[in-house]
Structure formats: C-alpha cells, structure tokens
Amino acid sequence: MKLLRYGEHGAEKPGLLDNAGLLRDLSGHVDDITGDVLDDATLDRLRALGPSELPIVEGEQRIGACVGNIGKFLCIGLNYSDHAAETGAAIPEHPILFFKANSAIVGAYDDVVMPRGSTHTDWEIELGVVIGKTAKYVAEAEALDHVAGYCIVNDVSERHFQNNLTGQWTKGKSCDTFGPTGPWLVTRDEVGDPQNLDMALDVNGERRQTGNTSTMIFTVAQIIAHLSTLFTLHPGDVITTGTPPGVALGMKPEPVFLKKGDVMDLTIEGLGHQRQRVDIDA
C-alpha cells in the first residue's frame, strides 16, 4: 500500500496511490497520514478498502511529505561501507546519530533552496524508515515489526555549515527544504527485505550515486534496536539510514557542489521517484 499526502503545504490531505497509478482520496477514512494512523490495525483497515470505492483526485496536485506531524527526524551518518571509504572515514563502532530539524521537511518534488552564503550544498539519497509502533528496548529480531513503512529521503547537506561552523552536523543538515521526504510511504508488507533495495541519484541527468541497501554497516533492524535503548521511538518518527557513495564531498579531484538551477532525481527500488530543482535564498 502506497500512502501519501497531497495539497498545499500545511494543508495536505491523505491519499492512496492505487495499482493503476491513480491518486485516491482517503480523507473520508483518516484525517491525515500521521503517527496516529500508522499502527497495524489501522493500516489493515485501510488496506481492506477497495481502491475503486475511493474518490479519484482529479488534476495536478502537489505531493507533500508522505508523513505529517513527524515527531523525531533521526539521521544515521556514515552507514554505508563504500560511502565511508570515499570520504576517508573510519567504520563506526555504533550508529552515528544526528537530528534534522523538522522545519527542513518538504515534499518529494518541492524546490531545494540553498541558504544565503551556501557554497557546499550536497545531495544524499537515503532509505527512510517510518515507525508505526512504539519501540522501547526492542530486540533486533523484533525491530522490523515496529516499522509502518519506508520512503525516500534526500538528506541535503551544506558541508561547510556541517563541518566548519563548530558544533554538531545538525547545522549543515537542517536548513529549510533540506529534507525532501516521499513521495509516498510504502507499507512494510510491500517492501519485503529493506536490506536489498537498489538506489540511484542523478544531477542534471548524470548519475552521481548508485548503491544498494545491502552495503549498510548497520541494518534497519540494528538501527531501530540500538536507538530504542537510548530513547523511545514513537509512531510517526522517521529515521534516515545513511547514503551510498557518490556524494559531491567525495568527488575527485575536486567536489562539484550544487548550484542554482541544478535538478536532482532520486529513485529507490519500489519506493518511487523524487525530483528537486535547486534554488537559492535571495
């Protein structure tokens, strides 16, 4: 099942993408796609609906972030062995955790707007994990039972802000629009094994990142189990799980960062497509 949110920013409505690629309105059944409706019982109720019984949404629609009212936006850094190698970083002993401000969250096709003074804005395609059931001290073997579904996240990063402004990575990760999420949430029953998904990101039609979630250092289950020993994961929390190689920061001989007018295209197997045009704050 592919759940999504459509409409103007801040006024999105819940929707479902049917097998024919038609957008169906879910507002007669749930108020929004938020943590409140991501438990297994509610997802089963929505899954039981006949898509043909749901109204078709006509016309061009903006697609918002696939989850509304995200609680925690949690990010795992350096979690692909081949990405760690390209940056010259050591393999971490435990998942590296940082937070991304929720104000960075936008839809999959919204513009990415570089902040004033940005010269090192970079791309990062990532598998997003959406929590559906409260997780506290969860065993690795049971961790995936706490997942509602998966989505694409572009963990856009301003590397100068991240590495040179003193403090945590959050400074370079949390700029407005730096968290495109979606276009839809694919429920876990349709995804199967989250550790075998092909990923790709293009900039201006040229391939920059090619990877597979099989090269994660810490699996989705391991990440959930680890985080749940530190704090409670709640329905509607989103975890981005790291990026494969091919980011601008790792380019040789010199990085080529994003500039105004660039276009990023992202795909993850079974999870759809994102596209963002790059602009810059006046």
pLDDT at 91: 86
Q: Please check whether residues 41 and 83 belong to one and the same domain.
A: no
As a whole number of angstroms, the distance between CA 21 and CA 217 comes to 34
Q: How many domains, the chain?
A: 2
In a domain, 67, yes or no: no
As a whole number of angstroms, the distance between CA 121 and CA 157 comes to 6
pLDDT at 116: 94
As a whole number of angstroms, the distance between CA 3 and CA 27 comes to 12
pLDDT at 236: 98
In a domain, 255, yes or no: yes
Q: What is the CATH number of the domain that holds 104?
A: 3.90.850.10
pLDDT at 274: 98
- Residue of 62, 10, 54 lying closest to 32 (CA atoms): 10
CA Rg value for the chain? 18
pTM: predicted TM-score of the whole model, two decimal places:
0.96
Tell me which amino acid residue 218 is.
F
Q: Please check whether residues 77 and 179 belong to one and the same domain.
A: yes
Q: Please check whether residues 7 and 97 belong to one and the same domain.
A: no
Residues 6+ apart with CB under 8 A from 136: 228, 232, 233
Residues 6+ apart with CB under 8 A from 50: none
In a domain, 189, yes or no: yes
In a domain, 58, yes or no: no
Task: Report residue 274: phi and psi, to 5°.
Answer: -120, 155
pLDDT at 69: 97
Q: Please check whether residues 80 and 49 belong to one and the same domain.
A: no
Residues 6+ apart with CB under 8 A from 44: none
282 residues of the chain, pLDDT tens digit each: 999 999 999 999 999 999 999 999 999 999 999 999 999 999 999 999 988 889 999 999 999 999 999 999 999 999 998 877 777 778 899 999 999 999 999 999 999 999 999 999 999 999 999 999 999 999 999 999 999 999 999 999 999 999 888 878 889 999 999 999 999 999 999 999 999 999 999 999 999 999 999 999 999 999 999 999 999 999 999 999 999 999 999 898 999 999 999 999 999 999 999 999 999 997
Which domain range does residue 14 map to? 2-53
In a domain, 8, yes or no: yes
Q: Residues 209, 201: contact at Cβ < 8 Å? A: yes
As a whole number of angstroms, the distance between CA 108 and CA 100 comes to 16
Q: Please check whether residues 99 and 222 belong to one and the same domain.
A: yes
Show the tokens assigned to 221. 């289950």
